[in-house]
Amino acid sequence: MEVQVFGRKKCADTRKALRFFAERRVRAHFVDLDVRAASPGELRRFVQKFGVEALLDRDGKRFAERGLRAARYGDDAWLERLADDPALLRTPLVRCQQRLTIGPAEADWRGWLDRPGTP
């Protein structure tokens, strides 16, 4: 089993996710969003399952700095902003085959380990 974790090194939830998988000897490919931003196509997978609102960290510091807390854009406009500024994302974004999670989701990850082949 291998997972892909999108996040930022400064994010405590991302570090927890990486530690969760490391402790269980699950190979985790980490994509540091400060170094390499997620593509709009990659983000679109998460939007299709959860909606764009789930990706937005509206309580985050970056939202306040950019004055976006009350902003209402369409999905495509948000995807563009999120691809350009990953600090606006709620992290970690975790993917294992076709399974996806946003934010800390240990219960879901445990389920993946219990049933490795099921979507």
Q: Is residue 74 part of a domain?
A: yes
Residue 60: count other Cβ atoms within 10 Å of its Cβ: 18
Instruction: Tell me the backbone φ, ψ of residue 20, rounded to 5 degrees.
Output: -55, -50
CATH number at residue 95: 3.40.30.10
In this structure, is residue 43 part of a structural domain?
A: yes
**Which residue type sits at 60?**
G
- At 41, list the tokens: 């196509």
Q: For the chain, what is the domain count?
A: 1
Average pLDDT over residues 55-83: 84
Q: Do 5 and 27 contact (CB within 8 A), yes or no? A: no
Distance CA 69, CA 63 (A): 6
Higher pLDDT, 20 or 58: 20
Domain assignment of residue 119, yes or no = no
Residue 103: pLDDT band (50, 70, 90) is: very high
Enclosing domain of residue 32: 2-114
**pTM of this structure:** 0.87
pLDDT tens-digit series, residues 8-43? 999 999 999 999 999 999 999 999 999 998 888 889
